[in-house]
Structure 1
Amino acid sequence: MAIFVSYQLNVSFVICPFKNPIKKSLLLLKSSLFIFAFIIISCKKESKYIPVSENDIFASTEQIPDSHFLGDQNCKECHKDQFKAWKGSDHDKAMQLADSTSVLGDFNNEKFTSQGVTSRFYKKEGGFYVNTEGPDGKNHDYKIVYTFGITPLQQYIVAFPDGRFQCLRTAWDSVKNKWFDLYPDFKVVHSEWLHWSRGGLNWNTMCSDCHSTNVRKNYDFKTNSYHTKYALINVNCEACHGPGKQHVDDVKRLGNNYTATGTMQMTLNTKPHDLVDQCARCHIRREQFSEAFNFEGTLLDHYFPQLIEEPIYYPDGQILDEDYVYGSFIQSKMYQNNVACNNCHDSHSLKLKFEGNALCAQCHIPEKFNTPKHHFHDMGTEGAQCVNCHMPGKYYMGNDFRRDHSFRIPRPDQSLQYGTPNACAGCHKKDNTWAWESFQKLFGAVDSIHFSDKLAPGITGQPNAHTGLIELANNIKQPEMARASAVKALSNYNTENFINNYLKWLNDASPLVRGASVDVLSEINNADLVKSFLPLLNDPKRSVRIKAFYGLSALSESQVPETYKQSYQKVKKEFFTHINTNSDFVGGRIKEANYYLKQGNMKKGIEGYESALKLDNINNQARLTLANLYYNNKEYNKAEAAFKTVMEQEPEYGPAYYSLALMFAELERTDDAIVQLKKASEKMPDNIRVYYNLSLLYDKKQDQKNAENSLVKGLKIDGNNESLLYALAYHYSKHDQPEKAKNILVRLVQLYPNNPQYANFLQQLSPKG
């Protein structure tokens, strides 16, 4: 009996700051139907994974009262030099009330037009206003209440109902003194999540946690509203050093007898990796796991980092989308050798400590490296600058140039293989072939092994690259970021083939590796594997514990062993805090929906996806999954309507037509199924399964000619496709064309000699004697 091959919907929801939205067209990424990835922060290095007692691992989640944050004027009394350096910095100006001193943009009735939208900036009654397109597609007047940043651009924030604050898409270029569109080549419709008036540019969710001090988002799911609070409007001294009340009280009480009591963060005694982790809270793509940051525990008790994978990184780990520096820096040899942010940047002004190559010369001997014998460029030129070879950058948000902090040697050979960038071709504006030939003339063969030599082939799905990924993941001398990314990339090669590797990595010393392993294994519906997550309920890192709990979703509470009951209940509370904290994201609502689906609760799963679409009605990734859920729940009319909505919004997206066709076929609506499959073949002509299933449908209607033609069309695309060849052989045999069937079977036997089915079929068709 013929079996229709269903289309497995693989999607991943990207929760990203507004700075660089992903192209609206649907992205199919490696993830199972019910596993959705968030975008996300980092790790604290450990030498060995030793589960600790509950008293140690369940760090306090208590929020700090605003009254414990005393403000910069209190700090200034004793720390005049530090205050002077900080004053006017990007941290100081991270967010300000909009007034005549803070607003840099031209609000003298200036007009700016981009993507068909005209915005007018003007003043009224001492305030600053903009007339621009609102959430209904019509122009309205909005008052500017806050400024955001200072250089190289300044954004402006508008107050909306229900406690929302929205960041305008049009920003002020404070270097060139002009208005500009953050995404000039990116058309956004007013009803989309990425429109400035909606979720993609919402300050409460996307910006507040890192631009102000002691932020509590306070999102209310029931009313879909915010009551966001902060202690200090900007990135104040205490945003980095922690609340100052105890410190000031101790100083006043002890006077000249005061000695450090350990109440402050980021001190001169903070170790390099700890310092980097503390900066990282705001300088990385992250998923949040705690309700609010309270300086308790470590970074991974509050956040988990986005690993190296497309479309955030190139396959070799270089920046593609924004990663906010940290994800790159922990890949580097600099980080591995205890270089920290403050070795290059002044901690308070944030400026570089030295100009030009003098910055690198702090550690790298000038006579060896700052010479044409090393860089092969004339001294004093751009090419002779260390950063231009080892820290190439990209522009984000229209005019914000940021350098890649992974500090790597250009690899034109990898550019040719994997499409990754290299500084040579980028600077000289030539192709990668020229760059590789020039590299070999100057340096010869590549003489250093970088983790990307094993990671890039795996991320791009090269044949047999799994071996290199396993080697990289097992190599504790390699960066944790690279190892964890290798663990994730190995799932490209059928996870079930590497179960023993993953089970071992669940106990790895690196929390990033443990977390990545849980994420991958969570996609496999295997009760025995699920039980392997139980010990991780006592993991030292909250983010890993929560991932483990999510992985245990398919296990009912009654199935949890008595020894883990108490930890299970505690992590369950952490999990739902994490879910509630992210419930104003589409991805947060989907994660909760998936939890209930794993629990077997189809009703709540469907409700979760419906809820997600209320936040973003144009999110067709979610809608496709919802359509399949409707179908599985026998709500066929709703499923059909959902599929057709996807087609209306994304008319060129072939999988929607394909999925609807398969549903029609199983509902015995053969003619409707054929119509949709023909459309699917037009949208994705290289998808072999379309032709295979179309042939089965024609055969069912006894349309022998079209059944044959469909298979022949597919074989023109992939002449050695096993399924199509066998189906065509069966078709010829069924319709009394044995010679044609035998010719194809002979070919199948040659191509796939280890499959006895083809030889037996051929023998049945051959005359005896």
Structure 2
Amino acid sequence: MVLFLLFASFFSCDKKPEYKEIETSKSVFLSGELIPDSHFLGDKKCKECHQNEFKKWEGSHHDKAMQIADSVTVLADFNNHTFTSQGVTSNFFKKGEDFYVNTDGPDGKNHDYKIVYTFGITPLQQYIVQFPDGHYQCLRTAWDSVKNKWFDLYPDFKVVHSEWLHWSRGGLNWNNMCSDCHSTNVRKNYEQETHSYNTKFALINVSCEACHGPGKEHVTAEENLGEKYVANGSFQMTSDTAPKELVDECARCHMRREQFSEAFNFEGTMLDHYYPQLLEERLYQADGQILDEDYVYGSFVQSKMYQNNVTCTNCHDAHSLKLKFDGNKLCAQCHVAENYDTPKHHFHPQNTESSKCINCHMPGRYYMGNDFRRDHSFRVPRPDLSVKYGTPNACTGCHKDKDDVWAAKNFTKLFGEVDSVHFSDKLAPGITMQPGAHEGLIDLMHDKQQPEIVRASATKALSNYNIPSSIQEYLNLLKDESALVRGASVDVLSTINTKDYTSYFLPLLNDPKRTIRIKAFFGLAVMDESEIPEFYKESYQKVKKEFFTNLKTNADFVGSRIKKGDYYNKKGNIVEAIKNYENALAIDNINNQIRINLATLYYNNKQYEKAEKAFKTVIEQEPEYGPVYYSLALMYGELNRVDDAIAQLKTAIKVMPDNIRFYYNLGLLYDKNQDLKNAEKTIVAGLKIDPNNESLLYALAYIYSKSSQKEKAKNIVLRLIQLYPNNQQYRSFLNSL
């Protein structure tokens, strides 16, 4: 039947290494208690003692992260200004002191919407509208506060009102996409049954206490003790915070990540609340450079600066967020100017844009239309990798009239051959699936000198190769000292629907990091609770609570509903799995990856009409998506609807003419219909694309043998024997002819 796309096809491993349990000095389970809003006293209270810090913070991006919309906070032109993009016309106007927009809503028709909040200040300001059931939505049209004009955040991307990405739906929903990082002490409070929110926060913006923690205990102790007061360590992000710990604390908001706790309550560490997005296609370049928005953390932790304990506040003022120095003086804090801020190093005219360190070592990209953000991986330009893998480089980023070959040649001329191996030399070919590149990924996985995020990303990337022997590599990494690596290994092994690895997952129920415990629990879904060993039962129940809290917290995301469906599918509860996949489609009705997987579940549950309808809906919405015709054809074939299956495969070949598997299956279907002429014609057409394809050659020999073309069959089998001399089946076939 159709391959269920969420599960990889691995083989079990015979040898099981001894698992060394992760040692912890105390209970790893956190209270999970939420902090009352009354414990956050507000920036005015902080100002009483910390006037200098307050003065720097006031007016900063953190201060202005979110504000009530009024005549002071709104920067945009609402004087009956009309803006049109992607066929949608929006009119911005005022009613008395209130600000409004007339634009397309979730029904595709224009309505008046009142602006209730502003978001940010520069280089853009967004505007938030209140919807029913506690939903708050961010407009797709924003204000360019530098050029003073309205603009479309995604000018080249048309979104219709029924899509999840429409501004009135999930893609620009403030409650789940924005609130956790733009306000203080946020509790999302989502209820799936009613698809409603009751989101709360203590303070509207990123206040002092958003970073340092609630001030009540500190202020009460200081007021009671006066001069006898001694800091008790209740605050985060202090001058005593270690560099990497500080990066993790900033990363809570400055990284692309998945949330695992109900709400951030300052307990534990970053990985008790969030797990970062790894370096994967569509989000990062193959070599780890930024592609989609990563919010800095994912790039910075790749850098040698991070590895050498450079932290955020070495470059940025902790309160104003501004850079501490202008130009190359910032880098010269550590890198001696005489060695680097000179044409002898950068080979460009001094005191020009070309001579700035950041333009070679921190190239950037525009996000949200006009927001230029720099890559914080601080890497040496590698045009040689650009030539091999199509990754960008700073050289041709500036010299737009030149190509990567020119850049690589001139780089070598100026700096010589690259004399050290950077992780990208192994990651880029691995991500782009170059032949034999899996060995480089394995090297990265085990090289503890490499950044953790690189090791974890290599671990995840290796799974794309579906190499049975790599199972052993993953099992070994389940006890790695890096939580990121453990998490990536669990994720890969959890996609395999088998009980073979549960004995390795069980110790991770006591992992020091909540994110890893939850991932391990998902991997254990193939076990019944009655099968859990007595030693782990208490931990199992605690992590079960963490797991379902995670699912409930993120139930407004499609991915969480899919994961819940996956969980029940691993449990063998196909009815509940279907229910959760249907719930996922309820909030993203055009997500056809969900629909294809759901169609497979329908088929497995013998709901053939629903399966067929789901496949046909995908075809209707994405007629150029070849694999769906193939999946539907396989289902028809198993239902003995051979003519229907043939029709679907013929269409699949038209859409994806280079997919060899389509020719193979179509040939077999023609054979099943005793149409040997079309069977031969189809297989021959496939062999024109891949002349040495083993499956096609064997199928053609079989068809020739059935149609009394013995000599042709013998010639094909002799070719198979030449290509695959160790296959005794082909010699037996030849003897039978």
Query: What is the TM-score with the length of structure 1 in the denominator?
Result: 0.93
Residue 37 of structure 1: aligned partner: none
2-side partners of 1:760 and 1:51: how far apart?
57
Cα deviation code 1:159-208 (max 9, x no counterpart)? 00000000000000000000000000001010000000000000000000
Q: Does structure 1 residue 260 correspond to structure 2 residue 255? A: no
Query: 59, 76, 83: which one pairs with 1:105?
Result: 76
Farther-moved stretch of structure 1 (270-279 vs 250-259):
250-259
2-side partners of 1:111 and 1:754: how far apart?
73
Contact 2:2 2:635 in 1 (8 A): no
How far did residue 446 of structure 1 move? 0.5
Residue 582 of structure 1: aligned partner: 554
Residue 363 of structure 1: aligned partner: 334
The change in CA–CA distance for 1:280 and 1:49 in structure 2 (over 3 A counts) is farther
2-side partners of 1:528 and 1:703: how far apart?
44
Cα deviation code 1:295-324 (max 9, x no counterpart)? 000000000011111011111110011111
Aligned 1:350-749 pairs, distance under 5 A? 350-429=321-400, 430-749=402-721
How far did residue 764 of structure 1 move? 2.9
Q: Does structure 1 residue 202 correspond to structure 2 residue 179? A: no
Cα deviation code 1:721-758 (max 9, x no counterpart)? 11001100110011100111122122212222222222
1-side partners of 2:572 and 2:22: how far apart?
34
Give the gaps of 5 or more residues in structure 2.
11-19
Residue 160 of structure 2: aligned partner: 189
Contact 2:8 2:466 in 1 (8 A): no
Q: Residue type matched to 1:150 in 2?
A: I
Farther-moved stretch of structure 1 (444-453 vs 338-347):
444-453
2-side partners of 1:557 and 1:672: how far apart?
44
Q: Residue type matched to 1:514 in 2?
A: R
Q: Does structure 1 residue 173 correspond to structure 2 residue 168? A: no
Residue 30 of structure 2: aligned partner: 59
Cα deviation code 1:512-561 (max 9, x no counterpart)? 01001101111223312122100000000000000000000001101100
Residue 17 of structure 2: aligned partner: none
Contact 1:8 1:33 in 2 (8 A): no
Q: Residue type matched to 2:229 in 1?
A: Y
2-side partners of 1:565 and 1:159: how far apart?
45
1-side partners of 2:183 and 2:250: how far apart?
14
SS where residue 525 of structure 2 aligns? coil
SS where residue 418 of structure 2 aligns? coil
Residue 5 of structure 2: aligned partner: 10
SS where residue 3 of structure 2 aligns? coil
2-side partners of 1:149 and 1:753: how far apart?
68
Residue 53 of structure 2: aligned partner: 82
Q: Residue type matched to 1:251 in 2?
A: E
2-side partners of 1:542 and 1:90: how far apart?
31
Q: Residue type matched to 1:661 in 2?
A: A
Residue 14 of structure 1: aligned partner: none
How far did residue 7 of structure 1 move? 5.0
The change in CA–CA distance for 1:94 and 1:466 in structure 2 (over 3 A counts) is same
How far did residue 489 of structure 1 move? 1.3
Residue 123 of structure 2: aligned partner: 152
How far did residue 49 of structure 1 move? 8.3
2-side partners of 1:10 and 1:628: how far apart?
9
Q: Residue type matched to 1:188 in 2?
A: V
How far did residue 87 of structure 1 move? 0.6
Cα deviation code 1:415-444 (max 9, x no counterpart)? 111111111111111211111111111112
1-side partners of 2:420 and 2:378: how far apart?
14
Q: Residue type matched to 1:669 in 2?
A: R
Residue 14 of structure 2: aligned partner: none
User: Which of structure 1's runs of 4+ aligned residues deviate more than 4 A?
Assistant: none
1-side partners of 2:160 and 2:122: how far apart?
28
How far did residue 458 of structure 1 move? 1.3
Query: What is the TM-score with the length of structure 2 in the denominator?
Result: 0.97
Identity over aligned pairs, percent: 72
How far did residue 506 of structure 1 move? 0.5
Q: Does structure 1 residue 289 correspond to structure 2 residue 260? A: yes
Query: 251, 265, 278: which one pairs with 1:307?
Result: 278
Contact 2:2 2:600 in 1 (8 A): no
SS where residue 496 of structure 1 aligns? coil
- Alignment root-mean-square deviation, CA: 1.3
Contact 1:49 1:510 in 2 (8 A): no
Residue 752 of structure 1: aligned partner: 724
2-side partners of 1:71 and 1:324: how far apart?
26
1-side partners of 2:407 and 2:470: how far apart?
38
Cα deviation code 1:449-508 (max 9, x no counterpart)? 111111111111112222221221111111101111111111122253122221111000
Contact 1:200 1:206 in 2 (8 A): yes
Contact 1:522 1:530 in 2 (8 A): no
Contact 2:67 2:205 in 1 (8 A): yes
Contact 1:518 1:547 in 2 (8 A): yes
Give the gaps of 5 or more residues in structure 1.
1-5, 12-30, 35-47
Residue 16 of structure 2: aligned partner: none
1-side partners of 2:340 and 2:420: how far apart?
17
**Number of aligned residue pairs:** 727
